[in-house]
């Protein structure tokens, strides 16, 4: 049954204080980077299971290594490259760097917020290709960075890249509960909402995929989806059949439902930006500290970032 379970993070790993960053800033980094990974997976036309595995590996890496060790978008690109490479649908580094250049460009961010803000006579959005064009030199530099981070991710994970997802289990559980025969026409909606809750959990600040096994995640997603769609479940404590205790189910239900509050909070903190950077995080930490002098190590890193970007 090992292929249906995942290695879970330890308490020490979950509660480490990366660079003394406030917990809410750590949540911001994980949320924005996971969201960027999801967007990249869509543009790369990767199956959702590969993108989901990439986000799980991303969070696993960050409970081992420093959140601020590399630019967040580079870690995202390296993780999705690694995950796709070991799957049946690899993607070239050229394709990945092009997609990330587009996602990080200001036109893609502004159009995603306001699709009708700039269009031609046919209503199609206008984007200046020069805003996300990668020169050969920039591509080689970016490629080398991604390959270097990929090696560090593998080293941090001990080359354990297996990720068991709860999505297939959730469908199996629904069949076991005979929902598709007794849902009064709501079976498809129930299954769809179940999968959506599992995808939502990938962005959870509680890092649910690192703390709970796929069986419990699938059970909680079914519970939430059934409550939303009004599908009547068995009157008994059916979740125990799938080895999920009431307390664990309650925690997961609250955790999955907390993403809405996180999205609202992050929008207020970071505004309309599509992706945050290490420089932006350092500036935010400085602001939270009352505008005082930034730690010498942080300031040195900021200057190095500026030099690289020059």
Q: Quickly list DSSP for 8-34.
A: PPPHHHHT--GGG--HHHHHHHHHHHH
User: What total number of domains does the chain contain?
Assistant: 2
My answer on whether 49 and 150 are in the same domain is yes
My answer on whether 211 and 134 are in the same domain is no
Return the percentage of the chain with pLDDT > 70, whole number.
82
Residue 131 within any structural domain of the chain: yes
My answer on whether 225 and 254 are in the same domain is yes
**Band (115; pLDDT cuts 50, 70, 90):** very low
Write phi, then psi, for 125 (nearest 5 degrees). -65, 140
Task: Provide the residue range defining the domain that includes 114.
Answer: 22-163
**Band (134; pLDDT cuts 50, 70, 90):** confident
pLDDT of residue 16: 65
**Band (112; pLDDT cuts 50, 70, 90):** very low
Instruction: Specify the CATH number for the domain of residue 177.
Output: 1.10.472
Residue 236 tokens read as 């008994």
Residue 281 within any structural domain of the chain: no
My answer on whether 106 and 172 are in the same domain is no
pLDDT of residue 310: 42
- pLDDT at residue 15 tops 90: no
What pairs with residue 119 in β-bridges?
A: 125
Residue 145 within any structural domain of the chain: yes
Burial of 209 (0-12, 13-18, 19+ CB in 10 A): buried
Residue 283 within any structural domain of the chain: no
- Reference 116, options 108, 125, 127; nearest CA is 125
Region of 186 (left: φ > 0; alpha: ψ -120 to 50; beta: rest) is: alpha
Q: Which of 92-101, 135-144, 266-275 shows the lowest mean pLDDT across its residues?
A: 266-275
Three-point CA angle 86, 89, 92, nearest 5°: 85
Residue 120 within any structural domain of the chain: yes
- pLDDT at residue 121 tops 60: no
My answer on whether 209 and 138 are in the same domain is no
CB 286 within 8 A of CB 292: yes
Residues 6+ apart with CB under 8 A from 203: 30, 31, 34, 35, 38, 55, 259, 262
Q: Quickly list DSSP for 97-109.
A: HHHHHHHHSHHHH
Which helix (H) or strand (E) covers residue 310, if one does?
none
My answer on whether 26 and 149 are in the same domain is yes
Instruction: Specify the CATH number for the domain of residue 82.
Output: 1.10.472.10
Residue 12 CA to residue 35 CA, distance in Å, equals 25
Residue 9 within any structural domain of the chain: no
Mean pLDDT over 233-240 rounds to: 92
Burial 239-252 (b: 16+ CB within 10 A, else e): beebebeeebbebb
Mean pLDDT over 187-202 rounds to: 94
**Band (20; pLDDT cuts 50, 70, 90):** confident
- pLDDT at residue 203 tops 70: yes
SS3 call for 119: strand
**Residue ending a domain, choose from 245, 260, 275:** 260
My answer on whether 81 and 35 are in the same domain is yes
**Residue ending a domain, choose from 216, 233, 260:** 260
- Better-scored residue on pLDDT, 207 or 305: 207
Q: Which of 18-27, 167-176, 188-197, 285-294 shows the lowest mean pLDDT across its residues?
A: 285-294
Residue 197 tokens read as 């809750």
pLDDT of residue 291: 64
pLDDT of residue 227: 93
My answer on whether 154 and 171 are in the same domain is no
**pLDDT tens profile 34-76:** 999 999 999 999 999 999 999 999 999 999 999 999 999 999 9
CB 183 within 8 A of CB 190: yes
Q: Which residue has the tokens 């978008």?
A: 73
**pLDDT tens profile 141-182:** 999 999 999 999 999 999 999 999 999 999 999 999 888 776
pLDDT of residue 110: 43
For CA atoms 60, 15, 221, 234, the dihedral sign is: positive
């Amino acid at each position: 049954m090992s292929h249906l379970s995942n290695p879970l993070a330890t308490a020490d790993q979950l509660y480490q204080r990366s660079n003394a960053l406030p917990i809410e800033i750590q949540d911001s980094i994980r949320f924005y980077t996971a969201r960027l990974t999801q967007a990249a997976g869509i543009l790369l036309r990767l199956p959702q299971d590969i993108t989901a595995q990439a986000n799980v590996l991303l969070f696993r890496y960050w409970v081992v290594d420093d959140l601020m060790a590399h630019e967040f978008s580079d870690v995202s690109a390296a993780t999705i490259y690694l995950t796709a490479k070991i799957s049946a649908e690899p993607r070239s580094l050229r394709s990945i760097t092009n997609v990330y250049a587009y996602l990080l460009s200001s036109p893609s961010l502004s159009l995603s917020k306001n699709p009708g803000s700039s269009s031609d006579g046919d209503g199609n959005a206008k984007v200046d290709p020069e805003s996300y064009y990668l020169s050969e030199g920039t591509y080689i530099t970016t490629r080398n960075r991604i390959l270097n981070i990929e090696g560090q991710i593998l080293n941090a994970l001990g080359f354990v890249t297996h990720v068991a997802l709860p999505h297939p289990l959730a469908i199996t559980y629904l069949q076991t509960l005979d929902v598709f025969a007794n849902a009064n026409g709501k079976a498809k909606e129930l299954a769809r909402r179940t999968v959506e809750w599992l995808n939502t959990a990938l962005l959870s600040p509680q890092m649910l995929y690192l703390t709970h096994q796929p069986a419990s995640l699938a059970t909680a997603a079914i519970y939430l989806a059934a409550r939303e769609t009004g599908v009547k479940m068995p009157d008994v404590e059916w979740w125990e059949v799938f080895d999920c205790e009431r307390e664990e189910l309650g925690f997961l239900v609250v955790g999955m439902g907390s993403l809405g509050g996180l999205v609202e909070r992050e929008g207020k903190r970071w505004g309309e930006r599509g992706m945050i950077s290490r420089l932006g995080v350092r500036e935010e930490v400085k602001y939270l500290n009352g505008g005082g002098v930034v730690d010498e190590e942080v300031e040195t890193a900021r200057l190095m970032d500026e030099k690289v970007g020059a």
